[in-house]
Amino acid sequence: MRFKLNNKKILLTVLIFFLVISMFFSGKIYRAANQLYLKLKILNQVISLINTNYVEVPDWEKIITGGIEGIMGELDPHSVYIKKKKMEEVEEEFKGEFQGIGIEFDILNEFITVISPIANSPADRAGLQAGDKIVEINGESAKGITEDEVFKKLRGPKGSKVDITIRRRGTEDFQVTLMRDDIPIYSVLASIMLNDSTGYIYLHRFSETSREEVEEALQELHKKGAKAYIFDLRNNSGGLLGQAVDIADFFIAGEKKLVYTKGRKEETEQEYYSSQAYPYEEKPLVVLINRASASASEIIAGAVQDLDRGLILGERSFGKGLVQRQYKLQDGSAVRITVARYYTPAGRLIQRPYDGDMEDYYETFTYENRDSVMAERDSLQNKIEYKTKGGRVVYGGGGITPDYHVEDSLDLKEATLKILRSPQRFVFNFATDYAAKNQKLKEDKEQFIDSFQLSEKAYQDFKIAIQKELQDSIDLVEIDHDKQFIKNRIKAEIARNFWQYDEYYKVIRRYDNHIQFALDKISEARQLFKVNRNKK
């Protein structure tokens, strides 16, 4: 939208804009009123000059939006401006549900391809299967559809109908009418027994439903005889603080401080404690983290470590310890402003240093030897020692440093990585075809998970399928280095095709060295808890 403003309207717009922003920074702004007034006059002068002299009619909506983003970018990496459209998506994500038909999908060969129907969704109840292609929506061809168009056409109000035409291998195209419904976005991706006594939960996000999902998972694992737990927070970028506190409470007995926050305003200084008693508080606990574990994930890992409740394994976490408060603006957009910092029970600041260089802030994320680099930086900055409840030494400096550093043992060849990253999803497509032709394997789930191995002939067929698509652009001999890994991935995709994500992860985690290491440390976690359980 383009429009021309006279100088009076410009001044009024700018003053209103900065009046809103000023509410969030009242302390410093009042002390520097003269400086702010001068800067406002300069800004108004710049806008007036642009409005009067710029070669084209300025797009003020775009310019003001850019100005707000620039202001937020000068604060810290996590204070942001959220546009109205993005705000709607953010609200949907944290609510943990949306309304639609309930499929995980990708666009393959120009058609929507079902990766997995979401459990108990309209798509699941209608019998949609992994590999199904949606070729028409409400009588119109869906060929060449974009991801944005998929959301517009398949999502919609609860109770509304959508007609889709499905193309499935071995059958003629058929039509399905689906009634849209509330679709949960799950936080717990897997909840399984790794052996007769160890329960495993993979939590990949913190939303409004996370506490409920984790409690349900713990209850089921408890019924199945879990005597120890591995809680996987790898690649969990965080979310709602309240959910993190509630989930930590499941594992930590008594009234113990889990995390606290400190900010410029008194109202932002809060302490959060464990309270209720749960049967999981007495069981050995190992928490897995990596460089992508952030925010709420670090709150849980920090509390578990500082209180000597369990062991932390993996990589040093990201180091996001800033508390954001979200403020809605009049047009439906919002600003998310940092109002406080997180501290672990021992007093460690979770946030790692930030000097204003956004590129440097995220650059270390990609280092192969990131933990070593971060440790070297810490030593140069004279890192501060802290003590856990039991007297163990832990260090500040940002992020949570694990008790045991565990590197990923996978050393995949470039050709294998190319296959895995390909938008053509070779592993998924091959597994889908294999599952369709071998339905008898579905009859005995435990037998499949425990004993099934992809035959050498099937593996060679997989390579032939790749060769047909990629011709000479990939070294098929090179992927033989990773043959067992590829076979296991195909098996996992077959399991997901037959059942759900629990079975997928049961297969995947058997070749996960972090899981194996964690299983070996259960007895140490048990001893750590016993020694420190009664210490104040």
Q: Which of 135, 157, 184 is the last residue in one of the domains? A: 184
- pLDDT, one tens digit per residue, over 274-288 is 998 899 999 999 999
Which pLDDT band holds residue 375 (cuts at 50, 70, 90)? low
What would you report as the CA-atom Rg of the chain, rounded to the nearest whole angstrom? 27
Are 384 and 303 in a shared domain?
yes
The DSSP bridge pattern shows strands 111-117 and 133-137 to be: antiparallel
3-state secondary structure of 149: helix
The DSSP line for 394-456 is EE-SSS---SEE--------HHHHHHHH-TT-HHHHHHHHHHHH-GGGGG-HHHHHHH----H
- The pLDDT value recorded for residue 457 is 96
Q: Which residue has the tokens 């090179």?
A: 478
| Lowest model confidence (mean pLDDT) among 6-10, 171-175, 229-233, 344-348 | 6-10
**pLDDT mean over 503-526:** 93
**pLDDT mean over 193-215:** 93
Q: What residues pair up with 181 in beta bridges, in sequence order? A: 100
The C-alpha atoms of residue 326 and residue 308 are separated, in whole angstroms, by: 33
Token pair belonging to 465 = 């399928």
- The pLDDT value recorded for residue 470 is 78
In this structure, are residues 459 and 489 in contact, taking their beta carbons and an 8 Å threshold?
A: no
Q: Which of 163, 184, 205 is the last residue in one of the domains? A: 184
- Of all residues in the chain, the percent with pLDDT exceeding 90 is 43
Are 170 and 200 in a shared domain?
no
What contacts 259, CB < 8 A, 6 or more positions away? 241, 244, 245, 248, 271, 272, 299, 302, 303, 342, 343, 344, 345
Phi, psi (rounded to 5 degrees) for 261: -125, 145
- pLDDT, one tens digit per residue, over 57-108 is 999 888 888 888 888 888 888 888 888 777 766 666 566 667 889 887 878 7
Distances (CA, A) of 240 to 164, 217, 246, 297, 350: 36, 19, 10, 10, 16
**Is the pLDDT higher at 383 or at 291?**
291
Beta-strand (E) ranges in 181-321?
Answer: 181-184, 188-193, 198-203, 228-232, 257-263, 270-273, 285-289, 311-314
In this structure, are residues 297 and 233 in contact, taking their beta carbons and an 8 Å threshold?
A: yes
Any domain includes 471 = yes
Residues that are catalytic: 295, 306, 320
Helices marked H in 291-369: 296-306, 358-363
Are 278 and 340 in a shared domain?
yes
Please report, as a single letter, which amino acid is at residue 324: Q
- The pLDDT value recorded for residue 373 is 58
- The pLDDT value recorded for residue 233 is 95
- pLDDT, one tens digit per residue, over 313-360 is 999 998 999 888 888 888 888 888 999 999 999 999 999 887 766 656
In this structure, are residues 304 and 59 in contact, taking their beta carbons and an 8 Å threshold?
A: no
Distances (CA, A) of 417 to 116, 304, 393, 410: 23, 35, 39, 11
- The pLDDT value recorded for residue 24 is 46
In this structure, are residues 298 and 323 in contact, taking their beta carbons and an 8 Å threshold?
A: no
Token pair belonging to 390 = 């039991």
Which pLDDT band holds residue 1 (cuts at 50, 70, 90)? very low
In this structure, are residues 24 and 325 in contact, taking their beta carbons and an 8 Å threshold?
A: no
Check whether 171 has a pLDDT greater than 60. Answer: yes
- The pLDDT value recorded for residue 313 is 97
Query: What count of Cα atoms within 13 Å lies in the side-chain half-sphere of residue 365?
Result: 15
- The pLDDT value recorded for residue 449 is 94
- The pLDDT value recorded for residue 3 is 42
Check whether 205 has a pLDDT greater than 80. Answer: yes
**pLDDT mean over 164-183:** 87
- The pLDDT value recorded for residue 29 is 47
Check whether 244 has a pLDDT greater than 50. Answer: yes
Any domain includes 192 = yes
Any domain includes 379 = yes
Any domain includes 238 = yes
Are 310 and 432 in a shared domain?
no
- The pLDDT value recorded for residue 4 is 45
Are 324 and 244 in a shared domain?
yes
**Is the pLDDT higher at 76 or at 211?**
211
Burial 303-324 (b: 16+ CB within 10 A, else e): bbbbbbbbbbbbbbbbbbbbbb
The CATH number linked to 256 is 3.90.226.10
The DSSP line for 45-105 is HHHHHHHHH-SS---HHHHHHHHHHHHHHTT-TT-EEE-HHHHHHHHHHHHTEEEE--EEE
Token pair belonging to 48 = 């007036």
- The pLDDT value recorded for residue 83 is 83
CB atoms within 10 A of CB 195: 11
Check whether 514 has a pLDDT greater than 50. Answer: yes
The CATH number linked to 112 is 2.30.42.10
Any domain includes 517 = no
The C-alpha atoms of residue 358 and residue 110 are separated, in whole angstroms, by: 36
- The pLDDT value recorded for residue 72 is 85
Indicate the helix (H) or strand (E) that contains 153: helix 147-154
**pLDDT mean over 465-485:** 85
State the chain's mean pLDDT as an integer.
85
Domain that holds residue 166: 97-184
In this structure, are residues 160 and 179 in contact, taking their beta carbons and an 8 Å threshold?
A: yes
Any domain includes 2 = no
310: DSSP letter: S
Check whether 21 has a pLDDT greater than 70. Answer: no
Are 455 and 401 in a shared domain?
no
Check whether 146 has a pLDDT greater than 90. Answer: no
Distances (CA, A) of 44 to 6, 39, 127: 12, 8, 61
Check whether 9 has a pLDDT greater than 70. Answer: no
- The pLDDT value recorded for residue 488 is 94
| Lowest model confidence (mean pLDDT) among 177-191, 207-221, 475-489 | 177-191
Are 172 and 271 in a shared domain?
no
**pLDDT mean over 367-377:** 61
The C-alpha atoms of residue 450 and residue 355 are separated, in whole angstroms, by: 51
- The pLDDT value recorded for residue 120 is 65
Are 168 and 180 in a shared domain?
yes
Distances (CA, A) of 293 to 259, 317, 358: 17, 5, 19
Are 223 and 340 in a shared domain?
yes
Are 192 and 298 in a shared domain?
yes
End-to-end CA separation in angstroms for the chain? 62
Are 392 and 262 in a shared domain?
yes
**pLDDT mean over 229-239:** 91
- pLDDT, one tens digit per residue, over 416-445 is 888 887 767 889 889 999 999 999 999 999
Token pair belonging to 143 = 């060929």
Any domain includes 144 = yes
Q: How many domains does the chain have?
A: 4
The C-alpha atoms of residue 500 and residue 190 are separated, in whole angstroms, by: 9
Are 214 and 150 in a shared domain?
no
Check whether 49 has a pLDDT greater than 80. Answer: yes
- pLDDT, one tens digit per residue, over 292-326 is 898 999 999 999 999 999 999 999 998 999 888 88
- pLDDT, one tens digit per residue, over 152-163 is 899 888 889 999
Any domain includes 301 = yes
